[in-house]
Structure 1
């Protein structure tokens, strides 16, 4: 299935359900998927967020040594770069689908402050947050006050997921109706580029 086969008829509820389902599945089995097209790109990016989430947990362990934290930090930097590259791939795929559909877009059509790829990334993180708050709700070794606080936060996350999903659906509908322009904004991160990060290119100098 190609990207254009999935757009402009993509339902955001299908996308968010995929994120929720894979988070649950990947906690029980190895990370992987068989999706293609836009959903495949989205799932690749989602898998990177899944890995990032758990690396971030490791970095905050009070028993982690300095050496372990340094290694985790390097892993996090690499995954973050990969995550941003994948967000751009999602946005590029949407641009290609708009062009393939021959949708006329007025030159003065407004541009959203956040691209669909960035919104999808936020939804991915929300699905991870929902899962882990759900785990906290089920703990038997905590006080009722802890579980009540977690349940309250879980409800807020669910509201945020619903609101953000609706906003993304409206944005995609506007893009594929020509009411809004879509552009991919390049992150152009500098910290992993040996020619741009002074801490790297000065490392060998006296």
Structure 2
């Protein structure tokens, strides 16, 4: 994909929108390659995470099932964050292919493009599930009105975030901003850093 900020953001939003609809009908898949392949994979973990979170909040689910769901949530969240970094790495590759180099004194953003795309992914899921509420026949008009107001706010946030992302990418393409990939180095999934994991391991050995 050529490094065209507006085209990239448009393609990302299209991917999010279309896959959310398809994945509610078939098993999540990834028919994309390269940069969009990374975006799709990251989006897929958000999709899986969203639905496990729904299960976790059900009062009818057994404690054993909740434990399984919580572990799934933990795993999906780790993958979600790992793939945010993969997206940022893909952006670095696109910038290198376009022979873009940061200018002297180029500044950093507090949020990377991958993090912005993660937020757009979640927003696409939120909009989809809010729109599902409009199809319910067991709710009153007040409920529908509240949902419509939320959808309007979500669409505005989606539009603003898309514009901000496009502007960030334009700054990167012009060399006005610099992109760095910071590893999140989460400790809770690392058996050498989480005391509950490495101490448990020692107990088993003993």
TM-score by structure 1 length?
A: 0.94
What are the equivalent positions in structure 2 for 1:131-146 lying under 5 Å apart? 131-146=128-143
Match for residue 9 of structure 1?
A: 4
Query: CA, structure 1 residues 113+7, in 2 after alignment: closer, same or farther (shift >3 Å)?
Result: farther
Task: For 1:61-76, list aligned pairs within 5 A.
Answer: 61-76=58-73
Q: Distance in 1 between matches of 2:113 and 2:97?
A: 18
Q: Secondary structure at the match of 1:111?
A: coil
Q: What are the ranges of 5 or more consecutive residues in structure 2 without an aligned counterpart?
A: none
Partner in structure 1 of residue 93 of structure 2 = 96
Match of 2:51 among 32, 51, 54: 54
> Partners of 2:181 and 2:47 in 1: how far apart?
23
CA distance in 2, matches of 1:194, 1:42: 28
Partner residue in 1 for 2:150: 153
| Cα distance between partner residues in 2 of 1:118 and 1:98 | 17
Select the residue among 167, 170, 175 that pairs with 2:172: 175
| Residue aligned with 1:55, SS | helix
Q: Which runs of 4+ in 1 moved over 6 A?
A: none
Q: Count matched residues.
A: 201
Q: Distance in 1 between matches of 2:34 and 2:68?
A: 33
Supply the distance in 2 between the matched residues of 1:148 and 1:21 (Cα, whole angstroms). 26
1:123 to 117, 120, 124: 120
* Corresponding residue number in structure 1 for 2:107: 110
Secondary structure at the aligned position of 2:137 is classed as coil
SS at match of 1:163: helix
Deviation at 1:187, TM superposition (A): 0.8
Report the secondary structure of 1:19's partner residue.
helix
- Structure 1 stretches lacking a partner, 5+ long: 1-5
Q: Equivalent residues in 2 for 1:27-46 (5 A)?
A: 27-46=24-43
Alpha-carbon displacement from aligned partner over 1:6-64 (angstroms, at most 9, x marks no partner): 13125112210210111011101121131111011100110111000000001001011
Q: What residue number does 1:82 align with? A: 79
Deviation, 1:158, is: 0.4
Where 2:48 maps in the other structure, the secondary structure is: helix
